[in-house]
């Protein structure tokens, strides 16, 4: 039988999808599942007073009040900034789709409006799409450890871009993060201990109650998959439909819930370095297979292009081009592959500029969306507070160099990048007071759809497989694609199966693999005919930047995340 709120009515597109997935399994509702104890004391649902975000905006904004500490629901309240785009087909509206853009640290009030057109058209028609800035982030009650933006910029300028190279840079890197932890402990000590993923999952449950949906419909990317898995195990009976796109392995992220000191970093356990290495190799192989008018960095063949890239990095180690260092370039390469069209093409031009000794022209930022504050403060301490409070990492700053070199032996330059991405946790002063570390297999009211890209610069396909195994009831959809997430590296095949699942509760057949509509450096005729929902990404490229993909943090000089 269909999931609650699903419709049996079909339009032309849905009929086509039905023909494609006649062997699909249909989600079936189960009786209420027990979460193993009340995950949060009873709290009145927040009241959302919606109004246009700006004059004439198609997006509505509201503010939700939630407890800082769910163990003390009558205590201090904090604010969550919330944004909504109403269903475009109100007569066929099913309910609300909640979206988390990842990170941790993604401001949903900016990123959902920025990328609204990326959602399949039928999903936009049938659901109000709602997102929010999680606690500690952006326009919500935020972690801010500096007295001014200028002070934050000065702190950021004191450490190497990408990751440190050499003893001097490593010392400066460690000192910078020690200072950051000290500043945060002085300015926002209470908030630091209450920005966990479990706290955000409880906030999500409050928002579900606030919009009046009986169960949750959700789409989470990257870190948002871990948030979704946490929600699914705290509130298993409330799961209507959940899409996890570009996944984190929850056991790896929590270091198997061990109480022993962490010996490896979060992203090592996740496998991000090797996944990024594979994405870079595939990108360069595609580049080398294309003429220079389609890939400026092409050396005429895949192997010649791979060799050219290695020689470029060796040259940059000895002599940067302007401010473009070896480590900063590696960070740029990884972040540019989050959204490969046009990210990969723009990256190829920058690499060719560096090859010829020129300082690359920056990629322009996308226009701001019509929301109240499209440019909130997004200091690195916001993502760090969530990340380091949730996930165990080595506490010895000196351990990261050794780990980075060990990882480089397995995953090359991207291995170094992803190990150093966790270095801010070495001196982080806070641990989440109320975290969730498993189990991850509580039976949910309905199954979950898991999507994994084959060549992702951040989250490996192995993590999507692990997420599928760990959850009590989940189906994996493989996306043969370069890039981070299927949502931002589109496939009509993925769109069709995602829409069918969200609207009607029908999962793809076991073993389904979809292909990216247009690979990097494709011929112009393919680029013209392939892809859906990419309009909002046209100006993003490497600058998807909006922290949910983690790229902003990478450009600032540290973490890719997602």
* Helix and strand numbers, DSSP H then E, in the chain: 20, 10
Q: What is the pLDDT of residue 22?
A: 26
**How far, in Å, are 104, 428, 443, 458 from residue 390 at the CA level?**
11, 11, 23, 18
Nearest to 281 by CA among 333, 350, 353, 342: 333
Give dist(CA 294, CA 48) in Å, integer.
48
Q: What is the pLDDT of residue 527?
A: 57
Tens of pLDDT along the chain (562 residues) come to 345 444 433 333 322 222 323 233 333 333 333 333 445 557 899 999 999 999 999 999 999 999 999 999 999 999 999 999 999 998 899 999 999 999 999 999 999 999 999 999 999 999 999 999 999 999 999 999 999 999 999 999 999 999 999 999 999 999 999 999 999 999 999 999 999 999 999 999 999 999 999 999 999 999 999 999 999 999 999 999 999 999 999 999 999 999 999 999 999 999 999 999 999 999 999 999 999 999 999 999 999 999 999 999 999 999 999 999 999 999 999 999 999 999 999 999 999 999 999 999 988 888 999 999 999 999 999 999 999 999 999 999 999 999 999 999 999 999 999 999 999 999 999 999 999 999 999 999 999 999 999 999 999 999 999 999 999 999 999 999 999 999 999 999 999 999 999 999 999 999 999 999 999 999 876 654 443 333 334 333 333 333 333 333 333 333 334 7
Q: Is 274:407 a contact under the CB 8 Å cutoff?
A: no
Q: What is the pLDDT of residue 37?
A: 41
Q: What is the pLDDT of residue 365?
A: 85
Q: What is the pLDDT of residue 15?
A: 29
**Which of 151-184 are b and which e, b meaning 16 or more Cβ less than 10 Å from the residue's Cβ?**
ebeebbeebbbbbbbeeebbeebbebbbebbebb
Q: What is the pLDDT of residue 40?
A: 52
Q: What are φ and ψ of residue 504, in 5° steps?
A: -115, -5
HSE-up (13 A, CA, CB side) for residue 286: 21
Secondary structure of residue 95 in the 3-state scheme: strand
Give dist(CA 552, CA 546) in Å, integer.
6
Q: Is 154:86 a contact under the CB 8 Å cutoff?
A: no
Rounded to two decimals, what is the model's pTM?
0.90
Q: What are φ and ψ of residue 416, in 5° steps?
A: -60, -45
Q: What is the pLDDT of residue 8?
A: 33
């Amino acid at each position: 039988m269909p999931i609650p709120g699903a419709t049996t009515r079909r339009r032309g597109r849905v009929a086509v999808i039905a023909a494609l997935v006649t062997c699909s399994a249909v989600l079936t509702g189960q009786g209420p599942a027990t979460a193993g104890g009340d995950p949060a004391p009873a709290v009145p649902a927040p009241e959302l007073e919606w109004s246009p975000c700006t004059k004439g905006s198609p997006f509505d904004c509201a503010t939700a009040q939630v407890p800082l500490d769910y163990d003390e629901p009558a205590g201090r309240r904090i604010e969550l900034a919330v944004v909504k785009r109403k269903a475009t087909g109100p007569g066929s509206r099913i309910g609300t789709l909640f979206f988390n853009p990842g990170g941790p640290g993604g401001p949903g009030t900016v990123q959902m409006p920025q990328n609204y057109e990326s959602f399949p058209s039928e999903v936009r028609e049938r659901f109000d799409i709602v997102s929010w800035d999680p606690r500690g982030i952006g326009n919500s009650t935020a972690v801010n450890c500096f007295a001014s933006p200028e002070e934050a910029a000065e702190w950021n300028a004191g450490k190497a871009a990408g990751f440190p190279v050499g003893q001097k840079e490593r010392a400066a890197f460690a000192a910078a993060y020690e200072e950051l932890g000290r500043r945060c402990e002085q300015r926002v000590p209470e908030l630091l201990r209450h920005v966990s993923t479990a706290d955000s999952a409880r906030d999500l449950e409050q928002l579900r109650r606030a919009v009046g949906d009986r169960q949750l419909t959700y789409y989470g990317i990257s870190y948002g998959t871990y948030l979704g898995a946490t929600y699914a195990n705290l509130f298993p009976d409330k799961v209507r439909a959940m899409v996890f796109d570009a996944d984190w392995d929850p056991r790896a992220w929590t270091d198997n819930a061990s109480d022993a000191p962490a010996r490896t970093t979060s992203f090592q356990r996740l496998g991000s370095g090797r996944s990024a290495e594979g994405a870079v190799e595939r990108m360069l192989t595609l580049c080398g297979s294309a003429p220079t008018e389609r890939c400026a960095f092409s050396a005429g063949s895949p192997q010649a292009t791979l060799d050219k890239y290695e020689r470029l990095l060796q040259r940059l180690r000895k002599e940067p081009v302007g401010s473009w260092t070896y480590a900063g370039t590696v960070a740029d390469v990884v972040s540019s592959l989050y959204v490969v069209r046009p990210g990969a093409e723009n990256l190829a031009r920058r690499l060719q500029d560096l090859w010829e000794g020129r300082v690359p022209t920056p990629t322009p930022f996308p226009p701001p969306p019509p929301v109240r504050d499209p440019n909130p403060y997004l200091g690195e301490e916001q993502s760090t507070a969530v990340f380091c409070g949730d996930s165990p990492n080595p506490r010895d700053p000196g351990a990261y160099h050794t780990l980075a070199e060990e990882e480089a032996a397995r995953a090359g330059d991207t291995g170094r990048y992803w190990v150093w991405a966790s270095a801010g946790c070495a001196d982080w002063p806070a641990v989440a007071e109320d975290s969730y570390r498993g189990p991850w297999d509580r039976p949910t009211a309905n199954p979950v759809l898991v999507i994994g890209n084959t060549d992702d610069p951040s989250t490996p396909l192995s993590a999507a497989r692990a997420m599928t195994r760990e959850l009590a009831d989940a189906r994996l959809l493989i996306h043969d694609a370069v890039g981070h997430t299927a949502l931002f590296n589109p496939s009509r095949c993925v769109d069709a199966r995602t829409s069918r699942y969200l609207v009607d509760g029908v999962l793809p057949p076991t073993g389904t693999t979809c292909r990216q509509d247009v690979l990097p450096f494709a011929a112009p005729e393919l680029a013209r005919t392939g892809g859906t929902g990419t309009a909002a990404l046209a100006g993003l490229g490497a600058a998807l930047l909006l922290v949910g993909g983690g790229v902003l943090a990478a450009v600032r000089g540290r973490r890719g995340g997602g």
